[in-house]
Amino acid sequence: MNSIAVSAPAKINLMLDVTGKRTDGFHTLLTVMQSISLSDTVYISANEVESITVECSVPEIPCDFRNIAYKAAVRFYEYSGICDGVHIKIEKNIPSEAGLGGGSADGAAVLFGMNKLYNTGFSLDELCRIGAAVGADIPFCIKGGTSLCRGIGDEFYEIPPLEDCYIVIGKGKGGISTKEAYRRIDAVGFGSDILKDGYDGTIDSVSNIGKNIFEAAADIDDVKIIKKLILNCGAVYSAMSGSGNAVFGLFPNFNAAQNCTNYLKSNGYFSSLCRPLSHGVIEI
């Protein structure tokens, strides 16, 4: 095998709280994450220059050492001891600076794909350990599905999967960097590591656990507007995902979800109609 194509699904945070900050500067979290069908496609192939090269369909995204996919490849080579070169081509569908884990999904896809490309045989758990050194959301993006996560995103606990439903994603112009989002959280203070009872995997029960501490801290006008539009279209629940600024809405009905997606697009917003997934990165 000298090339592989990997689907890299986005994620949403059904709930998210920041519970503290460690001495090494990393923040501790309490979050329920869910993989969704909005995804990037990452192509990984051996190259002849024995270095890491990256190209991306979105010109604004850096393709050098700043790209998380590049960092993941570096870490894979360091961990495996392999000295070689790889080319990474990213077809972006997940908007950046949206709280949807697009960069982490691409990094997870690189680790998964290079493991296949070099036949190194690392388990998913081992890939998660490699990925945790690159980005906090990479381990979840590798495994995917529905998970309760604590720590810096590296402690996973099994919970009921989200029932099949329709998920509408809406995003306005611009975004907020993860660094800036956490700076704002540091200014307002942290929550507690307590998850409310009542979540059983149904979309109705998501409202029992739902909150996103970043939503209030970020105070983004587009988030407020999009959330109101989604709820007015009939969503059972809506919130900002991750550190923002994308908003998701959960719908039991396809027609209502499709109408909402079209309405958001007609008002100039990015929008995508998705379904929940039971997996993370996969070969395609």
6 φ, ψ to 5°?
-130, 130
Q: DSSP secondary structure string, 236-256?
A: SEEEE-TTSS-EEEEES-HHH
CA 227 to chain CA centroid, Å, is 19
CATH 3.30.70.890 fits 166-274, yes or no: yes
**Can you say whether residue 198 is alpha, beta or left, with left for phi > 0 and alpha for psi between -120 and 50 degrees?**
left
Q: Specify the higher pLDDT residue, 276 or 96.
A: 276
Q: What is the pLDDT of residue 184?
A: 80
**d(C-alpha 145, C-alpha 128), whole Å:** 14
Q: What predicted TM-score, i.e. pTM, was given to this entire model?
A: 0.92
Pairing relationship of beta strands 86-91 and 52-56 according to DSSP bridges = parallel
Q: What is the pLDDT of residue 192?
A: 65
pLDDT band at residue 191 using 50, 70 and 90 as cut-offs: low
Do you find a cis peptide bond into 245, omega within 30 degrees of 0? Answer: yes
Q: Which two tokens stand for residue 59?
A: 């010109």
Helices (H), 134-272: 138-143, 178-188, 203-209, 213-218, 221-232, 254-266
Q: What is the pLDDT of residue 175?
A: 64
User: How crowded is residue 180: how many other Cβ atoms within 10 Å of its Cβ?
Assistant: 14
**Active-site hit among 17, 40, 106, 137:** 137
For 76-121, how does the pLDDT look when each residue is reduced to its tens digit (9 = 90+)?
A: 999 999 999 999 999 999 999 899 999 999 999 999 999 999 999 9
* Cα distances (Å, whole numbers) of residue 14 to 77, 129, 239, 241: 34, 24, 8, 7
Q: What is the pLDDT of residue 196?
A: 64
Q: What is the pLDDT of residue 265?
A: 98
For 10-51, how does the pLDDT look when each residue is reduced to its tens digit (9 = 90+)?
A: 999 999 988 888 888 888 888 999 999 999 999 999 987 889
For residue 219, indicate whether it is catalytic.
Answer: no
DSSP E strand stretches across the chain: 3-21, 27-46, 52-56, 86-91, 146-151, 155-158, 166-171, 237-240, 247-251, 270-274, 282-283
CATH 3.30.230.10 fits 3-159, yes or no: yes
Mean pLDDT of 48-73: 95
Residue tagged 């909150």 (tokens):
211
Q: What is the pLDDT of residue 198?
A: 78
- Closest to 44 measured CA to CA, from 81, 73, 82: 73
Q: Where in the chain is the domain with CATH 3.30.70.890?
A: 166-274
For residue 211, indicate whether it is catalytic.
Answer: no
Q: Where in the chain is the domain with CATH 3.30.230.10?
A: 3-159
- Closest to 128 measured CA to CA, from 156, 169, 86: 156
Q: What is the pLDDT of residue 55?
A: 97
Residue tagged 């192509």 (tokens):
43
Task: Determine contact, residues 231/249, Cβ cutoff 8 Å.
Answer: yes
For 132-188, how does the pLDDT look when each residue is reduced to its tens digit (9 = 90+)?
A: 999 989 999 999 999 999 887 778 888 999 999 999 999 998 666 767 777 888 876
Nearest-10 Cα torsion for 155, 95, 12, 90: -50
pLDDT band at residue 1 using 50, 70 and 90 as cut-offs: confident
Task: Determine contact, residues 138/111, Cβ cutoff 8 Å.
Answer: yes
Residue 262: is its pLDDT beyond 90? yes
Sequence-separated (6 or more) residues with CB below 8 Å from residue 97: 174, 175, 176, 177, 178, 245
For 193-236, how does the pLDDT look when each residue is reduced to its tens digit (9 = 90+)?
A: 666 667 899 999 998 888 888 887 777 889 999 999 999 999 99
CA 83 to chain CA centroid, Å, is 30
